[in-house]
Amino acid sequence: MEEKLPPEEENPIPEFVDGHTYASMKSHTLLDLTGLRNYCIRRSYKKLRRKGENKFDCLDRLSAHYGLSISTILNIVSKTRVYTHKEQRII
């Protein structure tokens, strides 16, 4: 039986996996969309902080982009350590 590929609009992470891989992950329940969303938020937060933006501007920008409240974003990134490339210290 041929595996049906989902349309591109159903794949929320096309920059990470292709449609076939996404369908396989979804059918085997290896995909946790909330965990993946939190990973993307933490990654974006680290990038913004490394660019030199302050914490509150990062939270505001991420809450606007993901459509979540600032308190939710803050709970996700509260334990995220951000290291600069020049100095290996926590900002």
For the chain, the domains span: 1-31, 37-77
Alpha-carbon gap, residue 51 to 27, rounded angstroms: 38
What is the pLDDT, as a whole number, of residue 38?
87
Count of other CB atoms within 10 angstroms of residue 59: 21
What is the pLDDT, as a whole number, of residue 30?
57
What is the pLDDT, as a whole number, of residue 44?
92
pLDDT-derived band at 59, boundaries 50, 70, 90: very high
| pLDDT, tens only, 1-47 | 455 554 555 777 777 778 777 777 777 655 677 888 888 899 999 99
pTM of the model: 0.57
